[in-house]
Copies of this chain bind each other. A is one copy, B any other.
């Protein structure tokens, strides 16, 4: 039985990891801590949940793998401490997603806290990173929006099925859990229920991550807030390359993900958030729409968009079966 630490366990993704690890046959949550020394965890409402201890870097030596569910900026030093103690690290924050520290500074408004570690970080979009994940010690777990955009987009770009000059539109709709647990005017029930809004148009922090991973800055990304708690639905609008049909694109995705347990390409119908809620899977579908092809992706932002993908990655880092704890 391998042992894991969860740092920042009181947030939404931390709790989701606790739920997943409770069913894992080969990895257990040995150390469950807050993100910072001073943080005072509330006692668990649920008698079946473990207590959350105050942060203690020394305890990172007790485990094989560390999940970082900390705010961006704070993750870097914990990652350094964990690596120094020999643990493998999956960081769910944004600290190691951008390869260029200058891009980080532009997006997050302060200098990168650990530029020397960037070179060894692997961008963990699992289905597209297995070769690098095997020997990795530090994984940058992708953002929730980027995961929903890159899973459908990367195979189509790689196969040359998308017009190389036209803009690509990614219109994403997310539940409010993506904004985290901290109370704010935006997360107040009165602001969310019966509401919908676009935000961060052209400037969202996930945009450089998407551009970097897709290898193009032609992608126009607009996130929207849904009156819901969980889930991301992304609608992609693609100009097909000359002569390419929606069927060809669907076939490309079906072939690429044929053996993948956590990406499902629908033969017919469209994915809905309810199909992937509390599930570890991203669902995709393709449909023609006038001159463009529409691709719809649905995932649970706290699962395949965060905790599930982190566990997929950790399984690979620790030499465990990739699907353990996830099926």
Contact = CB atoms under 8 A, between A and B. Distances in A.
Interface of A: 12, 23, 45-48, 166-167, 169, 171, 173, 175-177, 181, 183-185, 187-199, 201-202, 217-222, 224, 226-231, 233, 235, 237, 239, 264, 269-275, 277-279, 281, 287-292, 294, 296
What 5 A-B pairs are tightest by C-beta distance, nearest first?
A202-B289, A183-B183, A197-B272, A189-B192, A201-B287
B278 A278 contact: yes
Q: What copy number does this chain have within its complex?
A: 4
B224 A233 contact: yes
Nearest to A211: B290
Nearest to A327: B48
Nearest to A45: B275
B199 A233 contact: no
Contacts of A222: 235, 237, 289, 294
Contacts of A292: 167, 169, 220
A220 B12 contact: no
A204 B192 CA distance: 27
A184 B169 CA distance: 32
Contact of A235 (B198, B264, B288): B198
A209 B325 CA distance: 41
A290 B217 contact: yes
A144 to B, nearest CB: 14
A183 B192 CA distance: 12
A185 B182 CA distance: 8
Contacts of A230: 194
A183 B193 CA distance: 14
B224 A173 contact: yes
